[in-house]
């Protein structure tokens, strides 16, 4: 069933519903692909092959079910979504043996829709990173060039889709962690509006920033997955109780007439200046915007004047929330427990030192510092105020446009080990983090390969709160009018 490797989720689902293939065949094809590519890509922390095949055989015994939109579709989950009876490690030694007793809400919804979860994807430890080099187990490679990173923190989710190991995957996005790996790996990734998708059962990094979203090979695929996982969840206090539109209904749009696209100058820095876009990213994204204009969209300049402050604002808030969230990992209740501790404080210290990697410890320390009594107002308090101003700037920009467009990242995927300085790594997120601070939806879609690196480039679309339907509609129309994205030569 090698022809299934690079079929879209929508194509695979249609074949399954028509009886052209069985669920067992779909799962086995993915498991064969994993066996062939995983030694070099290393996208997955664990594979639930026998469990997935058993579920597939059960579904085949019942027959295709039109009421289950993802019936028999093989999917992968980022390894910070709790899965009943299956380890959830967050790519950390602290949780290497943690087996949850319940499923995350999104996992329950996928199961109810007939999807088959075949593996858990590698990631930066506790979702802290932009390259999937911070996993406690191994680094994930980019399927387009094994010497380059896949982005992060959902790098395993992006790489497994790009490598043809599954039809789609779930990632999480705290500051660009779906959109960046989607861009680097040449797939489509969607970060929903904060509150659109339940966070229940997701191990939190930054509770006011994290959102779960789909990563797949087409815009339509992302729409299909979002249709399943979106909606209010009474178990999640951050979940918003509002109607979920039909995301597939708007995908038949023929052109972009009547749509106004905002182009913030802060997201299009001069490629000839230091700190600007790489020429290949600038050219590919401008070509995509030009295609949107050809399809009838109007483009207007907009201002997002606090972009230069977004990095500092984001990392103060994110690290403060990480410090708070990770305080529960103390070596007492579950997870890593140091064996050579002599007293309680010694147990806390040694368990956390042995269980957490360098980047996680760095963020906990900084987060604790900005929340401390002497510095709370100077750092966290000011960051919270700037965050509100960033949201107001977006609201003002959307008064003159329907969507905002720009590059996902200033460069294509960089080589492993190239960004050794943490500050250099943080700056990779310059175009993505404001979206999370404002709680808005955003997505990355591939718009071609770089002229110099031959690596994928993603265009980012941002919209007002709960405008995923408009965003998906516009992105799908653009996708249909761009040259097809090739597959990596694995």
Taking phi over 0 as left and psi of -120 to 50 as alpha, with beta for the rest, 296 belongs to: left
For residue 153, say if its preceding peptide bond is cis, omega within 30 degrees of 0. yes
Question: DSSP secondary structure string, 365-430?
Answer: HHHHHHHSTTTIIIIIIHHHHHHHHHHHHHHHHTTS-SEEEEESSSSSPPBTTS--SHHHHHGGGT
Angle at 235 between CA 388 and CA 99, to 5 degrees: 110
Angle at 210 between CA 7 and CA 46, to 5 degrees: 50
CA–CA gap between residue 376 and residue 358 (Å, rounded): 24
Give catalytic residue positions.
78, 153, 177
Which residue, 407, 144, 387, is CA-closest to 269?
Answer: 407
Sheet holding 116-121, edge to edge: 44-47, 116-121, 74-78, 168-173, 211-216, 188-191, 442-449, 456-462, 403-407, 260-264, 298-302
Question: DSSP secondary structure string, 285-345?
Answer: HHHHHHHHHHTT-EEEEE--TTHHHHHHHHHHHHHHHHHHHGGG-SSSSSS---SS--SHH
Joined tokens for residue 368: 């604790």
CA–CA gap between residue 365 and residue 146 (Å, rounded): 33
Which residue, 299, 311, 354, is CA-closest to 331?
Answer: 354
- Bridge partners, residue 214, by sequence: 170
Which residue, 190, 448, 129, 132, is CA-closest to 319?
Answer: 129
CA–CA gap between residue 278 and residue 356 (Å, rounded): 35
- The residue written with tokens 């510092």 in the block is 369
Given CA atoms 415, 418, 420, 421 in this order, what sign does their dihedral have? negative
At 62 the three-state DSSP class reads helix
Which residue, 345, 365, 367, 346, is CA-closest to 357?
Answer: 365
Residue 383: CB atoms within 10 A of its CB come to 20
């Amino acid at each position: 069933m090698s022809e299934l490797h690079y079929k879209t989720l929508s194509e695979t689902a249609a074949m399954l519903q028509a009886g052209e293939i069985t669920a067992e065949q779909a799962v086995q094809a993915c498991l064969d692909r994993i066996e062939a590519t995983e030694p070099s890509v290393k996208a997955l922390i664990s594979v639930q092959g026998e469990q997935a095949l058993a579920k597939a055989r059960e579904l085949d015994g019942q027959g295709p079910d039109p009421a289950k939109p993802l019936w028999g579709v093989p999917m992968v989950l980022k390894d910070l979504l709790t899965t009943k009876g299956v380890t959830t490690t967050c790519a950390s030694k602290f949780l290497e043996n943690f087996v949850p007793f319940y499923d995350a809400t999104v996992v329950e919804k996928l199961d109810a829709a007939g999807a088959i979860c075949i593996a858990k994807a590698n990631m930066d430890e506790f979702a802290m990173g932009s390259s999937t080099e911070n996993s406690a187990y191994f680094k994930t490679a980019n399927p387009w060039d094994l010497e380059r990173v896949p982005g992060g923190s959902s790098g395993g989710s992006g790489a497994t889709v790009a490598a043809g190991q599954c039809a789609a995957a779930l990632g999480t996005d705290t500051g660009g962690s779906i959109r960046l790996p989607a861009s680097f790996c040449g797939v489509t990734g969607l970060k929903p509006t904060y509150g659109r998708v339940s966070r229940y059962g997701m191990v939190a990094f930054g509770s006011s920033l994290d959102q779960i979203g789909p990563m797949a090979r087409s815009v339509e695929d992302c729409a299909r997955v979002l249709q399943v996982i979106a909606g209010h969840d009474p178990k999640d206090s951050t979940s918003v109780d509002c109607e979920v539109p039909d995301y597939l209904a708007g995908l038949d749009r023929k052109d972009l007439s009547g749509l106004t696209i905002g182009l913030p100058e802060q997201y299009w820095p001069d490629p000839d200046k230091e700190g600007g876009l790489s020429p290949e990213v600038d050219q590919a994204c401008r070509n995509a915007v030009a295609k949107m204009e050809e399809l009838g969209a109007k483009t207007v300049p907009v201002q997002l004047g606090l972009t230069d402050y977004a990095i500092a604002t984001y990392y103060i808030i994110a690290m403060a929330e990480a410090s708070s969230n990770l305080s529960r990992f103390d070596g007492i209740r579950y997870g890593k427990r140091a064996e050579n501790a002599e007293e309680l404080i010694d147990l806390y210290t040694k368990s956390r030192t042995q269980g957490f990697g360098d980047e996680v410890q760095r963020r906990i320390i900084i987060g604790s510092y900005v929340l401390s009594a002497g510095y709370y107002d100077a750092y966290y308090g000011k960051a919270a105020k700037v965050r509100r101003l960033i949201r107001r700037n977006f609201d003002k920009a959307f008064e003159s446009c329907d969507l905002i467009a720009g590059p996902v990242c200033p460069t294509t995927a960089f080589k492993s080990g190239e960004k050794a300085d943490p500050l250099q790594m943080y700056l990779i997120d310059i175009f993505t983090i404001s979206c999370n601070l404002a709680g808005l939806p955003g997505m990355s879609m591939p718009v071609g390969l770089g002229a110099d690196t031959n690596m994928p480039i993603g265009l980012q679309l941002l919209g007002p709160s709960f405008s995923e339907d408009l965003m998906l509609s516009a992105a799908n129309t653009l996708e249909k009018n761009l040259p097809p994205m090739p597959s990596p030569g694995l």
